[in-house]
Amino acid sequence: MEQNKDIFQTLQPLQILDKTYERPPINKNFLRLYGHHLCPYVEKARLALLAKNLAYQDVQVNLERRAKWHYLLNEGFLPILETPQGNTILESRIIMDYAEEAFPKEGVKLYSSDPEEKAYQQMIMKFFDDVASAMFEVVLSHGTSKAGAQKLHKVFSRLEALLKQSSTQFFNSQDKYTMVDIFGLPHVSRIFYLKDSALNFLYEEEKIEEKYPKLRQWVYHMRAQPEICQEKGGVIIIKAFQLWTEELITLPKGTKPPLRIPMKL
């Protein structure tokens, strides 16, 4: 990279544009998160760092031109969290749990102290895995996959019911969002970001707003949380996702647009 060496020790964002880019030297001052703005799993990890009020250096990786060191480190997957000691933590869920456990007193408390309640939180988190797979099925088929839509409505109905039972605006009747909410937000929100996107017709046809008013309210409420809306990345994600859908509908069904950087925004 042609950048000044000092940049690797700061909070200034980096970009790895090409497979010829070497792995940046370790940031000895701050955590570093390797990610991509379009990836919901990266977003989860970032939300955990934001919830815990942890400063981190953001590195955006061109997933179309991954470097060899990236394959060796994590088979080319994201997110990757790098500690100031140079250790790497892989997998979004493991990064999220690490943030909570390594920094128990910082920011928002993400898990209940009661083990049974925590087990219940984790049981709800499992539901969101179904949103993730249904979302890709529905969106990549441009809304023509009936099975995908059915799966999406099944899990959305379950989540809507859980929010109705909650005595607060968050899952699990908590006064403040928890791991459940930040774990689920990236997947659920993408369906609501379809509004006014190139796939708006899908949003209308499936009657997303009409059927899931609580979930919609939750998405907006979550995005308005101080730690989360501080994130400049939030606006970038919505914009990037909507541009992604514009590219998506020009491609054959089942095909994903490339995950390149820099993104046109």
- Contact residues toward a copy of itself (CB under 8 A) are 83, 87, 89-91, 94-95, 97-98, 101-102, 115-116, 118-120, 122-123, 126
15 vs 122 by CB, closer to a copy of itself: 122
Q: Which is nearer to a copy of itself, 85 or 250 (CB)?
A: 85
Residue 138: φ, ψ to 5°: -65, -50
Q: Give me the least distance between CB of 15 and a copy of itself, in Å please.
A: 26
The CB-of-88 to a copy of itself minimum distance in angstroms stands at 9
Beta carbon nearer to a copy of itself, 87 or 250: 87
Residue 250, both tokens: 């020009």
Question: Cβ of residue 215: shortest distance to a copy of itself, in angstroms?
Answer: 22
Question: Radius of gyration (Cα) for the chain, nearest Å?
Answer: 19
Nearest to 26 by CA among 11, 46, 3, 8: 8
Which residue, 129 or 246, is less far from a copy of itself as judged by CB?
Answer: 129
Report how far apart, in Å, the C-alpha atoms of 55 and of each of 4, 18, 68, 92, 194 are: 21, 26, 28, 17, 31
- Give the end-to-end CA distance of the chain in Å, rounded to a whole number: 23
The minimum distance between CB 163 and a copy of itself, in angstroms, equals: 20
Answer for the pair 199, 246: CB distance below 8 angstroms, yes or no: no
Closer of 102 and 251 to a copy of itself (Cβ): 102
CB 191 within 8 A of CB 239: no
**Structure-block tokens of residue 63:** 């997933």
CB of 130 to a copy of itself, least distance (A): 12
For a copy of itself, the closer CB: 74 or 141: 74
Structure token digits, residue 222: 């979550």
User: Degrees (nearest 5) of the Cα angle 204, 206, 210?
Assistant: 75
Pairing of strands 31-35, 88-90: unpaired
* Residue 92 Cβ vs a copy of itself, minimum distance, rounded to whole Å: 12
Q: Shortest distance, CB of residue 104 to a copy of itself, whole angstroms?
A: 9
**Closer to a copy of itself at the Cβ: 4 or 85?**
85
Query: What letter would DSSP give residue 130?
Result: H
Q: How far apart are CA 42 and CA 39, in angstroms?
A: 5
